[in-house]
Structure 1
Amino acid sequence: MKKLLLLDGNSMLFRAYYATLYTHRMTTSNGIPTNAVYGFVMMLNKAIDIIEPDKILVAWDAGKPTFRHKQFAAYKGTRKPLDEELIVQFPIVREYLDAAGIKRYEQEGYEADDIIGSMAKCCNDIQTTILTSDRDLLQLIDPSTHVLLMKKGLSEMELMDEQNLFDTYGITPSQVIDMKGLMGDTADNIPGVQGVGEKTALRLLNQYSTVENVYAHIDEVKGKLKEKLEKDKDNAFMSLELATIYTKMELPFSLNDCEFTGIQEDVNGFYEKYEMRSLVNRTKQAKNEKWPLKEVEHFEMFDVEDLMVLPVCTQQPYLDQQLYGFMIPKDKTIYYVSVENALEDTN
């Protein structure tokens, strides 16, 4: 089955910026900050290694206003202004995607979530994975769509399907929206029902399944909770609507326009321009040499003691290096084993 990887561009760049802000600050020799772009590239590369997609799309927010601001003018109104060092990296990461040959898209009036949702729902015949740190996108999970959720830093990711979602949060994908309707979302300034938190929202949904059904059985709810629900009924339904990802956008491109055959060599020029020489794609360079490169999933076919095993890693000092995998030259072929596959080998 073909595989589509959808990236929530804004979410991933924010995570990359704040994950590296105090631990891995990077600037070029002329002072251009690049830490967020570096982190973004690292997360994207790891997702590509995990998913091995045939097609990729990176979706971006196009800015305010969106159709949600027309519904509720204060939507996302409590967010602080972005750091200038982050703002200047948005066009740089777009430049990276163009150099790498990866499709990107944004559209005024909509958010990246809506682009991702529309793309996912029109591609039910392929396996779709969404890379994000935003739990709102968990509502898009279905039999053909999973979410690769960032958990910590740049490297910890968890693949969420319907079962994992229920085991972790106790809800179904559609109930992600109902949770927001009841408890709101301070990050997006979605009001919900004042005084209803996560535990209360979960208890109500476990009993009544949906916000609509909660209000259909409002007379069964007792005491202060009933008063809170009745007082903020309009907010609950508005919040439900604000939290729902729109999945019916008419996108001006096809799935074929998102074709991915590997990171393109032009990206090495980008790395040189922004002084990220440690990210030069060594695997791509090896493919260009006279010996072919073949990716393998384990070492069983080798007598490793008789081979030269070369690490593929960044060019930072030894203790700061990041290891990507191993290259093994043998009989006019270069075999490549990723770190993930090497760790899974039990021999």
Structure 2
Amino acid sequence: MTNKSNVLIIDGMALLFRGFFATAFTGNFMVNSKGIPRNGLFGFLNYFCNAIETFQPTHVICCWDMGSQTFRNDLYKGYKSNRDAPPEELVPQFDLAKDIVSAFQVPNVGIVGYEADDCIGTLAKQLQADHQVTVVTGDQDLLQLVDQQINIAIMKKGQGNYDVFNIDNFYEKRGLTPAQIIELKGLMGDSSDNYPGIKGVGEKTALKLLQQYETIDNMLADKDNLTKGMQNKLDQYAEDLEISRKLAEIYTEVPLTFSIEDALWNKDHSSIHTFLLEDLEFKNPERWLGKLQMAK
């Protein structure tokens, strides 16, 4: 039995986007009397409260992107350039989601120039020595953070379903180590983030190479023993491979000023009750707050 605290780090962007698109396809934006859409906030609250109910944290933190431009755009001009602007109905819900988090007395963490993933990685690494850390996200990129005392809970279809990765089950689930996720994406690239990897190398080939060589550097050192086709690809796409590996790696030294005491989970929900009822005009805040009475 351990007395260590259990810190829950929530990927706010993942929860809000998931909440929005789960209902937006029906055209139901849940607009209140002030003309503000709330469908993303409704979904966010569902996922946020379910995560706390499921993982029973002692401390909670929520991380956010702070604009679309980060240091990765300086590394590679095309980074995420294939993404559309967020839907206009979602835009006002970004700040309101952060207001919800603040009303729960949970810290919102985000630094301009870095992604939420980088803030999550920095916090997880800072806290792992003294705390059990669980990250709730839909982003498979964060699997590279799995370590002693750091678990990644990937949200699955349907509320309350998580695929939890830890240091003991990771290789069985993925056939790789957490660090090799970076190498995998370096080889494959990432179409959603719009960076190239090695053209023509998919997941199957990348997995095979990493299971044989462990790292890209080991593979490059033995390049002469690869097939001629692979040798040619490595020569032709050497620059793409190097930049893709850099883009894939979560930066874990973001200059955060953070105190874990600020993240202590507080069961006094009077302020959030008022905010949900009066400001956002949700008629039944107890649908969420009632579930949290069991969260320690």
Task: Tell me if structure 2 keeps the 8 A contact 1:19–1:154.
Answer: no
- Give the direction of change, closer, same or farther, for the CA distance of 1:133–1:282 in structure 2 (3 Å limit): closer
Residue by residue, what CA displacement relative to the aligned partner does 1:132-172 show, whole Å, maximum 9, x if unpaired?
00001000000100011111143322211134332222111
- The answer for unaligned runs of 5 or more in structure 2 is none
Q: Are 2:280 and 1:274 equivalent residues in the alignment?
A: yes
Residue by residue, what CA displacement relative to the aligned partner does 1:215-237 show, whole Å, maximum 9, x if unpaired?
11111110322221221112111
1:71 is matched with 75
The number of equivalent residue pairs is 289
Q: Secondary structure of the equivalent of 1:46?
A: helix
Q: How far off its partner does 1:75 sit?
A: 0.9
Q: How far off its partner does 1:210 sit?
A: 1.1
Taking structure 2 as the reference length, the TM-score comes to: 0.92
Q: Are 2:19 and 1:13 equivalent residues in the alignment?
A: no
Equivalent-residue separation in structure 2 for 1:164 and 1:35 (angstroms): 35
Q: Are 2:25 and 1:22 equivalent residues in the alignment?
A: yes
User: Relative contact order (alpha carbons < 8 A, sep ≥ 6): 1 or 2 greater?
Assistant: 2
Question: Which residue, out of 32, 35, 39, partners 2:36?
Answer: 32
1:126 is matched with 131
Q: Whose Rg is larger?
A: 1
Within-5 A mapping of 1:319-334: none
Q: How far off its partner does 1:278 sit?
A: 2.5
Within-5 A mapping of 1:137-286: 137-262=142-267, 264-272=269-277, 273-280=279-286
Taking structure 1 as the reference length, the TM-score comes to: 0.79
Residue by residue, what CA displacement relative to the aligned partner does 1:221-256 show, whole Å, maximum 9, x if unpaired?
103222212211121111111111111123112111
Q: One-letter code of the match for 2:7?
A: L
Q: Secondary structure of the equivalent of 2:275?
A: helix
Equivalent-residue separation in structure 1 for 2:235 and 2:10 (angstroms): 39
Task: Tell me if structure 1 keeps the 8 A contact 2:110–2:119.
Answer: yes
Equivalent-residue separation in structure 2 for 1:20 and 1:161 (angstroms): 31
Q: Secondary structure of the equivalent of 2:209?
A: helix
Q: One-letter code of the match for 2:284?
A: S
Q: Which region of structure 1 is more displaced relative to structure 2, 45-54 or 129-138?
A: 45-54
- Give the direction of change, closer, same or farther, for the CA distance of 1:337–1:134 in structure 2 (3 Å limit): closer
Q: How far off its partner does 1:83 sit?
A: 0.3
1:58 is matched with 62
Task: Tell me if structure 2 keeps the 8 A contact 1:16–1:154.
Answer: no
Q: Are 2:124 and 1:107 equivalent residues in the alignment?
A: no
Equivalent-residue separation in structure 1 for 2:288 and 2:183 (angstroms): 47
Task: Tell me if structure 1 keeps the 8 A contact 2:66–2:110.
Answer: yes
1:307 is matched with none
Percent sequence identity is 37
* RMSD (Å), alpha carbons: 2.0
Equivalent-residue separation in structure 1 for 2:272 and 2:287 (angstroms): 8
Q: Secondary structure of the equivalent of 1:152?
A: coil
- The answer for unaligned runs of 5 or more in structure 1 is 285-323, 326-335, 339-347
Q: How far off its partner does 1:261 sit?
A: 2.1
Task: Tell me if structure 2 keeps the 8 A contact 1:19–1:153.
Answer: no
Q: Are 2:87 and 1:83 equivalent residues in the alignment?
A: yes
Q: How far off its partner does 1:12 sit?
A: 1.7
Task: Tell me if structure 1 keeps the 8 A contact 2:29–2:89.
Answer: no
- Give the direction of change, closer, same or farther, for the CA distance of 1:263–1:48 in structure 2 (3 Å limit): farther
- Give the direction of change, closer, same or farther, for the CA distance of 1:19–1:155 in structure 2 (3 Å limit): farther
Q: One-letter code of the match for 2:275?
A: F
Equivalent-residue separation in structure 2 for 1:270 and 1:166 (angstroms): 44
Task: Tell me if structure 1 keeps the 8 A contact 2:19–2:39.
Answer: yes
Q: Secondary structure of the equivalent of 1:278?
A: coil
Q: Are 2:49 and 1:49 equivalent residues in the alignment?
A: no
- Give the direction of change, closer, same or farther, for the CA distance of 1:137–1:283 in structure 2 (3 Å limit): closer
